[in-house]
Amino acid sequence: MNTPGNPVSPGTPALPNGSGAAALLAAGIGSFALGVLAFSADQSALLKRIFDFYAPTGPLSGVTTVAILIWLLTWAILEWHWRNRTVAVGRIAAAAIALLGLSLVLTFPTVVDLF
């Protein structure tokens, strides 16, 4: 495996892709968590009350706080496992972009109002 200090030929990665893949997938998961939580809080009066962490902001405070915690926790775990590894980044990137796309759908008001 190449390390940052070693000379590498052009076109050869100097660093393994694991750290980047971890950040990428965590961003996808964090975004998806935000979409799911926002959608759920909109559908359930109980969740709306649970996510009311800061009354002036309402359920948005809990939804975003929990989503950010999920994102950062996932990122830390994935970084811990993948930072020195080379992973199948093509599939991970596809999954991350799909999760981001789904999260955009889940926060679109017309979709939320269908349920």
- Integer CA distances (angstroms), 89 to 19, 52, 84, 94, in order: 10, 37, 14, 8
For other proteins, the binding residue among 35, 51, 78, 82 (CB under 8 A) is 35
Is residue 74 a contact point for other proteins (CB under 8 A)? no
For other proteins, the binding residue among 51, 62, 82, 103 (CB under 8 A) is 103
Is residue 85 a contact point for other proteins (CB under 8 A)? no
Is residue 24 a contact point for other proteins (CB under 8 A)? yes
- Report d(CA 77, CA 89) in Å as an integer: 17
Is residue 46 a contact point for other proteins (CB under 8 A)? no
Is residue 97 a contact point for other proteins (CB under 8 A)? yes
Number of Cα atoms under 13 Å in the Cβ half of residue 81: 11
- φ and ψ at 54, to 5 degrees? -130, 105
Is residue 70 a contact point for other proteins (CB under 8 A)? no
Is residue 61 a contact point for other proteins (CB under 8 A)? yes
Site for other proteins, rule CB under 8 A: 10-15, 17, 19-21, 23-24, 26-27, 30-31, 34-35, 38, 54, 56-58, 60-61, 63-64, 67-68, 71, 89-90, 93, 96-97, 100, 103-104, 107-110, 112
